[in-house]
Structure formats: structure tokens, C-alpha cells
Chain A
Amino acid sequence: MPQPQLEFAEAELIKRVCDGMPEAFEELVRPYERLVYVTAISILKNQADAEEVAQEAVLKAFSKLSSFRAECKFSTWLIQITYNEARMKLRKDHRHLYESIDERQEGSEGDYWPRDFADWRPIPSELLEENETRQALQNAISSLSPTYREVVILRDVQNLSIKDAATILGVTEGTVKTRLHRARLLLRDALAPGIDGCWSTGQSYQKVRPW
């Protein structure tokens, strides 16, 4: 569905919910279930916590729906709520204290030089049917520091525009682009074939490509 039509349909559903037809809410949220869950898991990295936060976020969106002002898209608003809920949970659990921070990644000043220049051996998308490939990619995303993980999830996993990602994160579009650039290079290096299919993770020498 083209965007204006979608937004029109959503505005109708929102109006119905606010006018006392709460059953319309399910229809409104259904296309974004996965988006909400992925947003939550990108921050919490844990399936059970992500599900709990996804539920909380959707409930919150329901109870706050009358305050939605259509200054942004409904999906952007919903993801923003999910982000806030996920971050609040992290703070509550003090887990951020244990979040490993890779200094090299954090120093976003200056250039990041790619580490691996070998001919790229493509990873075919069909391999995503296999659990170990999905795991390898998810691990690569998890290994990014939160700043970089966020932009990859918003822009590349959820396919949001640079503008929408900037709105959600409360930063400029230029900042999103800079972070995205670094994040993509880091991901690429994390999944590079390395030497004989192995890549040093710092502590150990690990086979990154399972095939």
C-alpha cells in the first residue's frame, strides 16, 4: 500500500479506537508486531525480556493512543515507545553496567578502516534458512556496541528511513549516517571470511562462517 493510503487507513483505525471501538487497535498494531519485537530484542538481547517489553510497549501505546498527534508516523511513534520501555528495563535491571563496551567502536571520531580486504566470499541469502547462519548474523549484530546496534536495527533490519531513525534516536540525520556507516563496516568485518574461514574475536580464534 502506498504511504498516504496507509497513513489514512491508520488514522481511521486510531479514530475508531479513540471513539470507543478498542477492537480496532489489534488491526492497527498487527503489521508492526515484528517491528516492536525486533526493536526490543536489539536492546535487551534476550527473548523473554524482549517479549515482555514488546507487550508493555503495545499496552502503553494503547493507553496513550489519544495523545498520538500524527507529527510522525504511527509506526515511528510505536517504536519510540518500545525503545523507551526497553531502555527503562535495562536501567531497572542495571544490566547496562555489564554491557561490554568496545573502546575501538565507541571512539566514533576519525575513520574506521576496514580490517579485511580479501575477496568477499558471498553469503547466499538461502543460508538464512539455517539456524547457524542466523545465529552468526545475530551474534555479529549483538557484538556491536548499543550506539551502532541501534542504527543497524532501525535502518537495515527494519528498513526505516534515515529521517525516521533520526527521529526515534533523537539525533541528527548526519549522526545516523555516520553511525550507520561505521556499524556496517564493523558488521562486514565481523562476517568476513577471515583466514581459512576463521576470524579472531580478540580472545579466541573462532570460525565465523559455519559452512
Chain B
Amino acid sequence: MATIEISCVEVWREVSNYLDADISPELRERMEAHFKGCAHCSAVLDGMRNVVGLVADGRLFQTPAGFNERLYNKIKPRQ
């Protein structure tokens, strides 16, 4: 069965849900077919995937040095 085409605007609307695997299999198939033929939408997807991966990386936000120690020193007297 032929995949029904999908427009760029529709792809942009769903690209975040696509990354979260939160779309129907039908839509996924249509989007995948679109990405194959559309360099612009692929660039949007690649960029979003890259950025989301970096943001999720534990190295991005680190607690300041000594944070844990100071935190538990604060709690101790109340315990």
C-alpha cells in the first residue's frame, strides 16, 4: 500500500512526538518516508535529536563543588 504523503508543516508539528515515539505507526511511516526525501525536515529532526541528547547528558548541569556536604550539614541539626 502506498504511503500517504505528508507536508513539511505537518512534519514539524509532530517532530517532537516522533522523537518521543509518541505517534501512531501510520504517522511514523509517513514521516519516515518524508524524511528520506526532504533534506530540510531531516535537518530539523537531526538538530532536535542532537540537542535533546545533549540536554539530557548528565555532564551539562553539575552541582557546585561541596553542594552535597553543605546540604547534609544543613539537615543534620534538624534530624
Chain A residues near B (Cβ < 8 Å) = 22-23, 25-26, 30, 33-34, 37-38, 41, 47, 51, 54-55, 58-59, 62-63, 111-114, 116-120, 122-123, 125, 128-129, 134, 137-138, 141, 152, 156-157, 159, 162, 177, 180-181, 184-185, 187-188, 191-192
Instruction: Spell out B's residues near A (CB within 8 Å).
Output: 9, 12-13, 15-17, 19-20, 22, 39-40, 42-44, 46-48, 50-64, 67-68, 70-72, 74-75, 78-79
Q: A34 to B63, Cβ gap below 8 A?
A: yes
Note all chain A residues with C-beta closer than 8 A to B63.
Answer: 33-34, 37
Bound-state CA distance A23–B78 (Å) is: 10
Contact of B44 among A114, A159, A187 (CB under 8 A): A114
Contact between B70 and A51 (Cβ–Cβ < 8 Å)?
Answer: yes
Determine the chain B residues whose CB is within 8 A of the CB of A30 once the complex forms.
68
Q: Enumerate chain B residues within 8 angstroms of A118, measured Cβ to Cβ.
A: 43
CB neighbours of B70 from chain A (8 A): 51, 55
Q: List 7 A-B contacts (CB under 8 A).
A: A22-B79, A25-B79, A54-B67, A54-B71, A162-B22, A181-B13, A191-B47
CA distance A138 to B62 in the complex (A): 11
Choice from A59, A113, A123, A157 contacting B75 with Cβ under 8 Å: A59
Provide the main secondary structure of the chain A interface: helix
Whether B46 pairs with A58 at a CB distance below 8 angstroms is: no
Contact A58 B39 (CB under 8 A): no
A38: B residues at CB distance < 8 A:
61
Given contacts A128-B54, A156-B56, A177-B17, contact A111 B61 (CB under 8 A): no
Query: A120 near B43 (CB under 8 angstroms)?
Result: yes
A59 near B43 (CB under 8 angstroms)? no
Interface contact A37-B78, CB-CB below 8 Å: no
Q: How far is the CB of B56 from chain A (nearest CB, A)?
A: 5
Question: Which of the residues B15, B54, B55 comes within 8 Å of A181, measured between beta carbons?
Answer: B15
